[in-house]
Homo-oligomer: A and B are copies of this chain.
Amino acid sequence: MTKENPTLADVARLAGVSQMTASRALNGRSGVSRETRDEVLRIASDIGYVVNRTAQKLSGRRNGIIGIITPTLDTQFSSELILGAGRAARAAGCEVLIYTMSDEDRRMHHDVLGLVRQFSDALLAILPRDSLWLDSLAKAKLPVVVIDQRGTMHRFPSVSVDNYGGALLAVEHLIELGHTRIAFLGGGDSIEGVRDRQRGYVDALARHGLPHAPELIASGDLSQMTAFEVASRLINLADPPTAIFTANDQSAFGAIAAAREAGLRVPDDMSVVGFDDIPMAEQFHPALTTVRQPFQQMASSAVNTLLAQVAGNDASVQRVTFAAELVVRDSSGTVTSVRRRSAALQKARKPGR
């Protein structure tokens, strides 16, 4: 029937106690006798009472909601993170609410943050690419943890993967396989993590005495389509690379498609190594060799930091970095004979397209 949602007052009345007592019992606070508590809980569950989190919040208390703000939803990168955050939050008895800030309407940072704050205790920010955001965040008076973007000002705790170290692993893997002309397909330099990957690439090369070839460093925008184009250019170089390390998995997919388009087989004629290890990496054909970000751990660390801050344990501004792990699959292999490669490229170039 159309009976309204049960409220705390209902529970209290039915249990024959005051609202306050009911509240205490429900929240597991001290100051309630076992008996009373059990009774209250029983009644609450009986009538299907669900605490009203907006009221909770309005009254000044924390309401166990953590807000996630993300620029996009369509990257597996963010979905993985969100998934992990949700799990971690629920494990702690919290819920998660997601707010997307699509690129178009970066207009009202302020409003959005204001809104999020009204609804939640803390905010998990998944790196919008511009730092304007960071400014707005600074004004929001609530705990914030930023993922994968250490603000230049170090204003917020952040959690990220060891991008530099991961890149090192990837490139050294390629070097071990015998590659000497290794290209880097980056993603612009608006994202700090991506810049770190490039640094790792450069240093790995240097460390192994490999020449620094500027023409082998190209930059896309982390999208598959752009990566396809950029990789195509790389492949058509007079002296093309035998391997490409890309700044993310999506780019790797694009690079692989480009290699195929050029008549090269992966990994026989061209090795490709990505970064992220999104679920697709394993499903792709060929399965992608890539650097794994421990999304679940990162998310859960972020959530816990947030929760600690909410609880008052001021963990000051800290940055947590997780180790990256190289996952070797089928897109990387030993260098093929130069003859074969050249032949393949020649053949592919002639017909044109």
Contact = CB atoms under 8 A, between A and B. Distances in A.
A254 interface: yes
A319 B118 CA distance: 35
Nearest to A5: B114
Contact of A86 (B52, B100, B115): B100
B98 A99 contact: yes
Interface stretch (A54-62, A178-186, A296-304, A331-339): A54-62
Interface in A232-284: 254, 257, 260-261, 279-280, 282-284
A10 interface: no
Contacts of A53: 115, 118-119
Nearest to A95: B115
A118 B87 contact: no
Interface string A43-87: 000001010111101100000000000001110101110110011
B105 A96 contact: no
B82 A100 contact: yes
A90 interface: yes
A72 B2 CA distance: 31
A176 interface: no
Contacts of A35: none
A187 B141 CA distance: 47
Interface string A84-123: 0011001000011111101011000011001101110000
A114 B74 contact: no
A34 to B, nearest CB: 25
Interface string A162-182: 000000000000000000000
Among A5, A104, A114, chain B packs the most CB atoms within 10 A around the CB of: A114
A212 interface: no
A285 interface: yes
A217 interface: no
B97 A99 contact: yes
A110 B50 contact: yes
A224 interface: yes
A286 to B, nearest CB: 9
B118 A52 contact: yes
Given A98-B100, A225-B283, A228-B283, A55 B58 contact: yes
Contacts of A102: 83, 86-87
Nearest to A112: B95
Interface string A1-12: 010010000000
Nearest to A257: B285
Nearest to A100: B86
Contacts of A260: 285
A90 B114 CA distance: 16
Contacts of A48: 110
Contacts of A54: 54-55, 57-58, 118-119
17 contacts: A50-B110, A50-B115, A54-B54, A54-B55, A54-B57, A54-B58, A54-B118, A55-B58, A74-B76, A79-B79, A87-B102, A96-B99, A97-B97, A97-B98, A98-B100, A228-B285, A261-B285
